[in-house]
Amino acid sequence: MAILLSQLFTGLSVGSILLLIALGLTFTFGQMNVINMAHGEFIMAGAYTSYVLQNTMGESLAGPSLLASLVVAFVVAGTMGLILEVVLIRHLYGRPLDTLLVTWGVSLMLQQVARDIFGAPNVQTTAPAWLDGGVDIRGVTLPYARLFIMAVVVVAVVGIWVFLNRSSQGRRMRAVMQNRELAGSSGIRTRAVDRRTFFIGSGLAGVAGVAVTLLGSVGPTLGTNYIVDAFLVVIVGGLGQLRGAILAAFSLGALNAFVEYYSHASAAKVVVFVAIVAFLQIRPQGMFVLRTRSLT
Partner 1 sequence: MRNGARRRGARIVAVLALASLTVTAAAYSSGSKQSAGTIKVGILHSLSGTMAISEVSVKDAELLAISEINAKGGVLGKKLVPVIEDGASDWPTFAEKAQKLISVDKVATVFGGWTSASRKAMLPVFEKNKALLWYPVQYEGLEASPYIFYSGATTNQQIIPGLDYLKAKGLKKVFLVGSDYVFPRTANKEIKAYAKANGITIVGEEYTPLGATEYGTLINKLKAAKPQAVFNTLNGDSNVAFFKQLRSVGITPKQMPVVSVSVAEEEVRGIGTANIAGHLTAWNYYQTTKNPANKKFVAAYKAKYGKSRVTDDPIEAGYTQVYLWAAAVKKAGTTNVEAVKKAAGGITFMAPEGKVTIDGSNHHLYKTARIGVILKSGLIKEVWNSGHPIKPDPFLKGYAWAKGLS
The residue ranges that bind partner 1 (CB under 8 A) are 3, 6-7, 9-10, 13-14, 17, 111-112, 115, 120-124, 126, 132-134, 141, 143-146, 212, 214-217, 219-221, 224-225, 256-257, 260-261, 264-266, 268-269
Between CA 64 and CA 60 the distance in angstroms is 9
Q: Which is nearer to partner 1, 245 or 259 (CB)?
A: 259
Q: Kindly tell me which of 106 and 183 has the beta carbon lying closer to partner 1.
A: 106
Q: What is the largest CA-CA distance in the chain?
A: 60
Give whichever of 3 and 75 is closer to partner 1, judged by the CB atom.
Answer: 3
- The secondary structure of the chain in percent helix, strand, coil, rounded to multiples of 5, reads 75, 5, 20
Closer to partner 1 by CB, 211 or 239: give it: 211
Q: 197-236 b/e with 16+ CB inside 10 Å = b?
A: bbbbbbbbbbbbbbbbbbeeebbbebbbebbebbbbbbbb
Nearest distance, CB of residue 41 and partner 1, angstroms: 14
- In whole angstroms, the minimum distance from the beta carbon of 60 to partner 1 comes to 14
CB of 255 to partner 1, least distance (A): 12
Query: What is d(CA 87, CA 65) in angstroms, rounded to the nearest whole number?
Result: 31
Cα distances (Å, whole numbers) of residue 26 to 3, 118, 249: 33, 30, 12
Distance CA 192, CA 279 (A): 36
- Minimum distance between the CB of residue 261 and partner 1, rounded to whole angstroms? 5
Rounded to a whole number of angstroms, the minimum distance from the CB of residue 72 to partner 1 is 21
For the CB of residue 90, give the shortest distance to partner 1 in the complex, in Å: 30
Nearer to partner 1, 32 or 222 (CB): 222
Per the CB < 8 A criterion, the answer to whether 222 and 102 are in contact is no
* Nearest CB to partner 1, comparing residues 96 and 133: 133
